[in-house]
Amino acid sequence: MAQHSLSDRVAIVSMSCTRFSEHFDRSADELAVEAVTEALQGANMSPDDVDAYWLGTYISGISGMALSRPLRLTGKPVTRVENMCATGSEALRAAVYAVASGAVDVAMAVGVEKLKDTGYSGLISPRIQDDGTRVNTSAPANFSLLAPAYQQRYGVDAEDFRDAMTHVAWKNHANGALNPRAQFRKEISKETIARSPAVAGVLGVLDCSGVADGAATALVVRAEDAHLYTDRPLYIKALSLVTGSGAGVADENYDYTSFPEVVQCAQGAYEQAGITDPQRELALAEVHDCFTPTEIVLMEDLGFAERGKAWRDVLDGRFDRGGDLPVNPDGGLKSFGHPVGASGLRMIYECWLQLRGEAGERQVATANRGLALTQNLGGAPGDCVCFICVVGTRLGQASA
């Protein structure tokens, strides 16, 4: 049994993304319609030209009718999917599989979420039945455990790691300040970040990602049909998903310095895409920076840095917009915001802009490498799922 590569079989021919913000005056329906309409216009299509739709939403809809109703679709298969913070990515995965299998010619993945006027702050987790071993603590509390664990394992001074966490937030806010669709469009000083009010453990308010409303979409077709719709498609090079067993939190050997699901997921993605040196082959990466220490740990799990060295690479600017491997040039979850169902597709949208040279002021110099990676994490350390996608501008050869 194996997962087979879909490399170069499916192409993205149009994308869209609303601004992620506190849309108190707009419904999930309105956000979805805006995103779908923009993507269809980009490929000169109508809703009827799409053979099947996949809707990713965490709490803003129950069935496919959450999309068919506002779009007034009739006679179309519309499927609603959910996989925690990887929900938008799951919608893309399903749409790509449908096209690759030959079941449909044109598919659309849609991610949408309304979080800001639900009466709650932060992310809402539906009550589910389980075996009683899940840790019932907040997301900031869960991810705050990464910092002291990393410091202890690698002998990193607490102030040095604090500086690295601060740099992650500073970098992503600086990137978001250049992004007209980001939730937070203001640079923040390192001093302000380091002194932000405490939330959990060493995490301050400005170590945490934004909670927002928004929608994003991707339109996919067979690779051989891509140029019927655009002269600059993005080709799917890899789709990798790993779902953990949830046993990490009960495993005495789990030390909170890595996400095993991410490591396994990255290995699968690199094998599918033919990537042997991600640090040099990738033009950029969009990763799940739900909290600042998460991004640091992910740099090692994704093979962008040596074990125990990512904090130093962060401080050296390797992952800055002008660095060797730009990470989250659109601002990431930290600055762009995190409407759960839309975030995975938002990451792909930044790759779409960057690899096509359409990112404006935040355009990265490394885009000519032609490959970009997105990584979603859903859940918590020791109890999570991971999705990784690699897209590229060229058929055949993985990178320049």
Q: Residues with catalytic annotation?
A: 85, 338
- Other Cβ atoms closer than 10 A to 41: 12
Best CA proximity match to 261, nearest among 238, 279, 240: 240
Q: Which helix H or strand E contains 15, and what residues bound it? A: strand 10-17
Local structure of 17: helix, strand or coil: strand
Across 338-362, b (16+ Cβ under 10 Å) vs e yields bbbbbbbbbbbbbbbbbbbeebeeb
Check residue 398 and report its DSSP letter.
S
Looking only at the bridges linking them, the beta strands covering 371-380 and 284-286 are parallel
Residue with tokens 């869209």: 16
CA pair distance 83, 21, nearest whole angstrom = 22
- Other Cβ atoms closer than 10 A to 363: 16
- Amino acid of residue 84: M
Local structure of 277: helix, strand or coil: coil
CA pair distance 360, 53, nearest whole angstrom = 30
Cα end-to-end span (Å), the chain: 32
